[in-house]
A and B are shown apart, each in its own frame.
Chain A
Amino acid sequence: EDQVTQSPEALRLQEGESSSLNCSYTVSGLRGLFWYRQDPGKGPEFLFTLYSAGEEKEKERLKATLTKKESFLHITAPKPEDSATYLCAGSFGNEKLTFGTGTRLTIIP
């Protein structure tokens, strides 16, 4: 069964304190790795797609990277408005996405 696991479950950072979120996945058959941001009571907002090991994507304070067994979402000098739940999902050869349980990120002013 395809699996996607995220850690930590929750993370509290001071404003400006950089950190990384982890997403590990079933190694075989990954076609794409996706990162989303979800605010309370809202649907997920697409951030990045990664396809191959070594690939990196960047947007403002966020950078996503992919290795052969995991992906990282690096957040540099975060601001309170970056507080949200960050979800990663994998596509394993069909149209479905398998989601991790998310990391609840809180940035303290």
Chain B
Amino acid sequence: GAVVSQHPSWVICKSGTSVKIECRSLDFQATTMFWYRQFPKQSLMLMATSNEGSKATYEQGVEKDKFLINHASLTLSTLTVTSAHPEDSSFYICSARDRETGRTEAFFGQGTRLTVV
């Protein structure tokens, strides 16, 4: 299957600082990428849909000024958690869909464990 690489795998940051997470599609072009967060023993909750060359679409209740998304190329989307607080600690996962092949399933990165102290 297609490969999606997410970096870093884990990060610890101090409260009030910003953290950037990268999501790359390695062997296909992804015009659309998705960002999720997952709390322990809970399912994936979609945060936003990232479209190459345009503004991201955020789900209800997700602060767009806090979770900045940039999708500057067909293979890279970034999520920046600004002014992080302990309640932002979570598992963040990106996914991408290869629309050029017509495949509808999404392929996921390995996730980023964010801990804000």
Contacts and interface: CB of A to CB of B under 8 A. Distances in A.
Contact of B6 (A36, A43, A44, A49): A43
Interface residues of B, number: 25
Interface string B5-37: 010000000000000000000000000101000
A95 B105 CA distance: 10
Contacts of A46: 1, 105-108
B111 A42 contact: yes
A36 B44 CA distance: 12
Nearest to A9: B41
Contacts of A34: 105-106
A87 B44 CA distance: 9
Interface string A29-45: 00110101000011111
B5 to A, nearest CB: 10
B1 A96 contact: no
A49 B98 CA distance: 14
B110 interface: yes
A102 interface: yes
Interface of A: 31-32, 34, 36, 41-46, 49, 87, 91, 95-97, 99-102, 104
25 contacts: A32-B105, A34-B106, A41-B91, A41-B111, A41-B113, A43-B4, A43-B6, A43-B95, A43-B109, A44-B44, A44-B93, A44-B95, A46-B1, A46-B105, A46-B106, A46-B107, A46-B108, A91-B104, A95-B97, A96-B46, A97-B106, A99-B45, A100-B43, A102-B43, A104-B41
Interface of B: 1, 4, 6, 32, 34, 41-46, 49, 91, 93, 95, 97, 104-111, 113
